[in-house]
Amino acid sequence: MLILEDDERSVSAALELLLQAEAVFFDLDGCIYFGDRLADGALALLEWLSHKGKQVRFVTNNSTDTGAQVAARLVRMGLKAGSEQIMTATEQIGLHLMRLYGRTTLKVIGSRSLHSALERAGHRLVPLYSDERADTLVIGRDTSYDYAKLQAAMEEIDAGTPVLATNPDLFHPGSRGEKVPETGALYSALEAMTGRKINYFGKPAPYMFELAMENCGVKSPELCVMVGDNLHTDIAGGRSAGVKTIWLYDAANLPSSEEPLPFHLRPDVALPDLQSLSARVGFGGV
């Protein structure tokens, strides 16, 4: 059931979910921070969760940075988090591939951090433009993506190489609310050219949540809560993994009340922001 009509009721329902949980997962962009600015109420809420003995993990489709890089960024914003708490698509996709196939030969379109993380996970990387066939082509967010890389990716697909994207996001919000292009925007051209959907690892697929649960040592998804701003990744992903969900909505972009959300996009609770929670937990929040 979607609770949206009454703010106090929504906050109470969200707090009940958090108190019942053993682990709480947060998205980062648009949830914990906006660009280089920490979200109002984030620090107070995280302190409260720590005080209550909850395990916290940050589950992000970020395919540009490692957990250590994200942790350093959070510290600069005033939020202390260990790299082991941060589950990035950058690092987790290599573990996922290792579990499925063992050590594989990969071609990669993406950041230097993604290349390095895949190698650390045990995979063998070959240059994108080499004649050697890869077992899989991995595509992540690449700020130097160009026509040559698009052509090379298309040639790999034509040769029968499977493709796995880090995440399906078309964009993430920048510090001024601007749309910053993401992985999904890059591989959409390949889908248009081939007429086929490209598989992805990150949210809303369940894999990131399953790895986060394992990382926390939590056996049941019903003992976990996902908090995020994106219905199509955070909420749908939480649903696919069986975890409870709290949606942080943008009042300017609420779905029409005349058109009920489909079940896979329906959060357990909806709130306008983290501040509405932190104001109730006794750590300031205002």
Q: Tens digits of per-residue pLDDT, 15-72?
A: 999 999 999 999 998 899 988 889 999 999 999 999 999 999 999 999 999 999 999 9
Burial (CB count within 10 angstroms: exposed 0-12, middle 13-18, buried 19+), residue 240? middle
Whether 123 maps to a domain, the answer reads: yes
Whether 43 maps to a domain, the answer reads: yes
Distance CA 118, CA 105 (A): 10
DSSP 146: -
Q: Examine the domain organization and report whether 185 and 268 are in the same domain.
A: no
> Does the pLDDT value for residue 283 go beyond 50?
no
Q: Examine the domain organization and report whether 166 and 180 are in the same domain.
A: yes
Cβ of 196: how many Cβ atoms within 10 Å? 11
Strands 269-271 and 244-248: parallel
Residue 284 has a pLDDT of: 44
198, 191 contact by CB (below 8 A)? yes
> Does the pLDDT value for residue 5 go beyond 50?
no
Cβ of 208: how many Cβ atoms within 10 Å? 28
Q: Which residue has the higher pLDDT, 281 or 84?
A: 84
Q: Examine the domain organization and report whether 233 and 191 are in the same domain.
A: no
Range of the domain at 108: 90-200
Whether 14 maps to a domain, the answer reads: yes
Q: Any bridge partners for residue 244, and if so which? A: 225
Whether 68 maps to a domain, the answer reads: no
Whether 81 maps to a domain, the answer reads: no
Tell me the mean pLDDT in the region 153-174. 92
Residue 252 has a pLDDT of: 54
Domain boundary among 164, 181, 200: 200
Give me the amino acid identity at 197. K
Residue 286's pLDDT band (cuts 50, 70, 90):
very low
Radius of gyration of the chain (CA): 19
Q: What is the pLDDT of residues 241-265, one digit of tens each?
A: 999 999 999 755 566 665 678 888 9
Best CA proximity match to 97, nearest among 145, 159, 162, 141: 162
213, 221 contact by CB (below 8 A)? yes
**Could you give the C-alpha distances from 70 to 38, 66, 97, in angstroms and in order?**
13, 6, 22
Domain boundary among 179, 200, 221: 200
> Does the pLDDT value for residue 1 go beyond 60?
no
Q: Examine the domain organization and report whether 107 and 189 are in the same domain.
A: yes
> Does the pLDDT value for residue 92 go beyond 90?
yes
Cβ of 80: how many Cβ atoms within 10 Å? 10
- Mean pLDDT estimate for the chain: 92
CATH (domain of 260): 3.40.50.1000
> Does the pLDDT value for residue 158 go beyond 90?
yes
Q: Examine the domain organization and report whether 179 and 271 are in the same domain.
A: no
**Could you give the C-alpha distances from 237 to 168, 207, 208, 230, in angstroms and in order?**
12, 9, 9, 10
| Three-class DSSP labels, 212-226 | HHHHHCCCCHHHEEE
Whether 230 maps to a domain, the answer reads: yes
